[in-house]
Amino acid sequence: MLVTRICKECDGMFRVDITPAAHPGRGTYCSVSCRADAGRGKPKALTRDEAKEACRRYNSGESSNVIARDFGVSGSTVALAVRLAGGKMRKFTANAPLRVDIPVAKIAALYAQGSSTTVLGKIFGCSAPTIANRLKRAGVKLRGSPRGGGYSIRCKDGHVVRSNLERLVDDWLYGHEIAHAYEPELTFNPLMTGDFLARGVYIEVWGMEKNQRYNQRKQEKLAQYAAAGASVISLLPDQVENHLNSALDSLLEGSPYSSG
């Protein structure tokens, strides 16, 4: 179950799955670095002048986390300085200052070209939910996942995928002992990912047949595969659900159509 928590170290808000079996012990700190900082003993304190400057910046509208980063202290240290000076901490709202400086126009452009929030998070050094949050604030409509939501469906080999269609493909590959990667970066365009990569062949699961924008991105992506001379197997919902053996037969060892 996903819940919103406040990091004990930096006072930042974060989402966490508190299901014991999935994330034992999670929910106190938002990151490994915050957990490490909390374990280093007494945190660095602000000098009197630093505390005054921190209060001035916070009262002018800056985020406590941004100020904390600049002074090399935790967000809770800045919050304490504000309270000791007689100030009040602002409540978190949808328009609260951003914790990470990200060029929104740039990520929106890359997202429109097909880059996933996961890939963008790796590029800009933050999480996929952070990227998604920036896009939402900028008014960008996020792409949905066919017959599923975020990464929530676990496959037999441990991969966690976005949809039941992808689960069927992943389980088929695992059942036939075919080594595969989930959402691999495309060698010819590192800003995009495929759904799967197995034996040098990319696999794309196209689950939203009636969505015009989705189909447009599908054609653009297939054009990139063709231009790069990359091997790709395209799968539609009916193929995945009813004809997966014949659709992926070329990946089997000994098949006359095998690529490896």
Give pLDDT tens digits for 222-255. 999 999 999 999 999 999 999 999 999 888 865 4
Higher pLDDT, 126 or 175: 175
Residues 174 and 202 in one domain: yes
Residues 124 and 166 in one domain: no
Average pLDDT of the residues in 99-119: 75
Does residue 97 sit within a domain? Answer: no
Does residue 94 sit within a domain? Answer: no
Q: What is the DSSP letter of 236?
A: -
Average pLDDT of the residues in 183-193: 84
Does residue 142 sit within a domain? Answer: no
Euclidean distance between CA atoms 28 and 260, whole angstroms: 47
Has residue 93 got a pLDDT over 90? no
Does residue 197 sit within a domain? Answer: yes
Residues 160 and 244 in one domain: yes
Residues 79 and 113 in one domain: no
For the ranges 32-36, 38-42, 138-142, 210-214, which has the lowest average pLDDT?
Answer: 38-42
Does residue 258 sit within a domain? Answer: no
Residues 236 and 167 in one domain: yes
Residues 58 and 133 in one domain: no
Residues 161 and 132 in one domain: no
For residues 18, 22, 24, 30, the Cα torsion angle rounded to the nearest 10 degrees is -60
The CATH code of the domain that includes 205 is 3.40.960.10
Residue 140 in contact with residue 108, Cβ under 8 Å? yes
Average pLDDT of the residues in 101-107: 79
Number of domains in the chain: 3
Residues 170 and 126 in one domain: no
Residues 78 and 33 in one domain: yes
Residue 146: its pLDDT value, please? 43
> For residue 126, what are the domain limits?
104-137
Euclidean distance between CA atoms 148 and 132, whole angstroms: 17
Residues 157 and 239 in one domain: yes
Q: How confident is the model at residue 42 (pLDDT cuts 50, 70, 90)?
A: very low
Residue 94: its pLDDT value, please? 44
Does residue 193 sit within a domain? Answer: yes
Residue 159 in contact with residue 170, Cβ under 8 Å? yes
Give pLDDT tens digits for 2-34. 666 666 655 555 666 655 444 444 566 666 556
Residues 188 and 226 in one domain: yes
Give pLDDT tens digits for 191-234. 788 999 999 999 999 987 777 878 888 898 999 999 999 999 99
Structural domain ending residue among the three candidates 137, 161, 179: 137
Higher pLDDT, 231 or 88: 231
Has residue 101 got a pLDDT over 70? no
Q: Contacts for 79-88 with beta carbons within 8 Å, 24 or more apart?
A: 79/11, 81/46, 81/51, 81/54, 81/55, 82/54, 82/55, 82/58, 84/51, 85/51, 85/52, 85/55, 87/55, 87/58, 87/59
Euclidean distance between CA atoms 219 and 203, whole angstroms: 15
Does residue 89 sit within a domain? Answer: no
Does residue 133 sit within a domain? Answer: yes
Residues 224 and 174 in one domain: yes
Euclidean distance between CA atoms 92 and 219, whole angstroms: 41
Residue 89: its pLDDT value, please? 81
Q: Which backbone phi and psi does 209 adopt, to 5 degrees?
A: -65, -30
Higher pLDDT, 258 or 131: 131
